[in-house]
Chains A and B, each alone.
Chain A
Amino acid sequence: MITVKDIVIGFDNDLFAIDKVDFQKGKVHVLTGRNGIGKSAFLRTLTGLLKPIKGEIILDNKPLDEYSNKEVSNKISFVHSIQNGVSFLSVDAYLMLGRSNFTNMFGNASDIDLRAIENAKSVFGIGHLSHKYTNQLSSGELQLCAIAKAYVQETDYILLDEPTAHLDYQNKKRVYELLKQISIDQNKGIIISTHDLDLAFKFPFEFYLIKESDLKLHKIDGFNDIEREFNT
């Protein structure tokens, strides 16, 4: 469980605050709020990339800053909202980078690593891209690959910043379904930020809204709260 308590998120200025939230395993947690309110900053804070201005993050009963970078990378994986393709980096090689915590010190893959990648490719339906270079992919294909790379990292928590932004409708639905399935079947805690709310609300996810009025994170139950927030 990731517990966030009395925290203030931000870079130089405060963005928003959270009194207390528990992000449990086995569930998909969805963050939403207007552009620029600090969703990405929050996700980055949970990975340790960004320090909170104030407050504490507890990752599995221990404060996040008592973990080493390596330990965090064994527990939390993160998918950026924007991916950059790299020339001469094949999709297979790209996914193998997600296995870095398992490969030996020169990055050589074992049979287990190869199987993990084959499995991920079939789960996310990207097998046909295996030998393509990542700079030849569409932004949607790249996004699927990035999610697959986080998946092969085999962490308890997967954080995704707008994972569906570049996807077509079918793939958006597919990603939400997969995230739901992964969270339940493998008991993983998944936290995403998104603007694709119409679709997300069709899934049994936990929803949180960063409200403009008090700049705090609130748990919400229905679409009405969202309508109210964005209509005022």
Chain B
Amino acid sequence: MKGIKSHAILLFSVLAGIFALSIYGLLSGDIPTEFNDVYHALLDYSDQDINQVIIREIRLPRIMMAIISGAALSVAGMLMQTLFQNPLAGPYVLGINSGSSLMVALGVLSGVGFFNSELGLMGSALLGAFVFGLFILFTASFLRNQIGLLLFGVMLGSFVSAIITILEAGSQAEALKSFALWSMGSLNNVTIEQIPIILAVFIVTCFLTFFIVKPLNILILGEEECRLMGYDIKKIRILIVFITALFTGLITAFCGPIAFVGLAVPNLTRMLFKTQNHMLLLIANLLFGSFFLLTCDITIQLFSDVLLIPINALTSLIGAPFVIYILIRKLR
């Protein structure tokens, strides 16, 4: 019982932290604004007031994307780690992002109308993530070694980036620039009009995840145990890959690749909560993921006068050493 209480306190503190950081993020920026502006921008909006416009059109979508991306990528990472029973798995290292990147590159660099549209971009990023997810699932069925699977993911990433380089070499300057910016990862490119659709896909995917909490709990004992408990393991596996692809594809389409969040946060939550209960892990990943990416975003904003750090670079700076730490602990 003591455990449950301390878990609740921890979760509520993070929730409060997310709330505080969001308010701070809405308030701060190049142009000084006051709490009053934030209040009006959110609840009583007038597009005549420049401060309100800045908050609602620029800061709000960015903050919301930080919250959604962090949560989505962390849960996607948790799902991959449980599916492959591998703490080093994640949508980025396994190359699921690469699937989205490839499709987005094809869309943006080829300049074909449909793929360049918002829905086309999202749809193709989701499809790319799902196809690559199935590909990794298939490979995992005969590549049992944990490190081997990661190497496979890295190779998949290299292969895709080679294709993308070829595409880049043959494309127009305009398209090249917009793709290069996308591939750095950014929370700034989303408009307030896009938020509802992104939020809707995110919430539906979260609901889906809540319904597979029970098989996920058994899956940590292995696929045979899951089957022996009466689950159709093939369906469960494909559902997990599908959910991961939804989360990853959604974020990759709108924010570009964001590395290591999906790897680091699930490990962090497992260490903090010392549990394999996926209901708790799911909630923890949603909250800690949001908190983590929000912190990254605000750090970037703080340094924006001096240096513009792409979000993908910052998460890699933090995430890569963390992965090395886990590697050393595991392989020692």
Contact = CB atoms under 8 A, between A and B. Distances in A.
B230 interface: yes
Interface string A69-112: 11111100110100010111110011001001101011100000
B276 A89 contact: yes
Contact of A101 (B211, B229, B270, B279): B229
Contacts of B221: 84, 86, 94, 97
Contacts of A94: 221
Is the interface on chain A under 10, 10 to 19, 20 to 34, or 35 or more residues?
20 to 34
A73 B229 contact: yes
A113 to B, nearest CB: 13
B230 A73 contact: yes
Contacts of B213: 106-107
A86 B276 contact: yes
B231 interface: yes
A13 interface: no
Nearest to A133: B274
A73 B276 CA distance: 22
Nearest to A100: B229
Contacts of B276: 86, 88-89, 93
Given A49-B228, A78-B228, A101-B229, A86 B220 contact: yes
Contact of B214 (A49, A74, A105, A133): A105
Interface in A37-60: 47, 49
A68 B229 CA distance: 11
B224 A80 contact: yes
B48 interface: no
A89 B220 contact: yes
Interface string B272-285: 01111101000000
B230 A69 contact: yes
Nearest to B278: A107
Interface string A140-161: 0000000000000000000000
Contacts of A68: 230
Given A93-B276, A97-B221, A103-B214, A74 B228 contact: no
Contacts of A106: 210, 213-214, 279
Given A86-B221, A100-B218, A93 B231 contact: no
A21 to B, nearest CB: 22
Q: Which of B211, B213, B229 has the most CB of A within 10 A?
A: B229
Contacts of B225: 97
A105 to B, nearest CB: 6
Interface string B206-245: 0000110110011011101101111110000000000000
Given A49-B224, A106-B213, A88 B274 contact: yes
Contacts of A69: 227, 230-232
A115 B168 CA distance: 64
A12 to B, nearest CB: 15
A72 B228 CA distance: 8
Contacts of B211: 105
A133 B275 CA distance: 9
Contacts of A86: 220-221, 276
A74 B270 CA distance: 31
B115 to A, nearest CB: 39
A195 B90 CA distance: 42
Contacts of B230: 68-74, 100-101
A14 B309 CA distance: 62
Contacts of B224: 49, 80
Given A88-B270, A88-B275, A106-B279, A77 B228 contact: yes
4 smallest beta-carbon distances between A and B, as pairs = A73-B230, A70-B230, A107-B214, A89-B276
16 contacts: A49-B224, A69-B227, A69-B230, A69-B231, A70-B230, A73-B229, A73-B230, A77-B228, A84-B221, A86-B276, A88-B270, A88-B275, A93-B276, A103-B214, A106-B213, A133-B274
Interface of B: 210-211, 213-214, 217-218, 220-222, 224-225, 227-232, 270, 273-277, 279
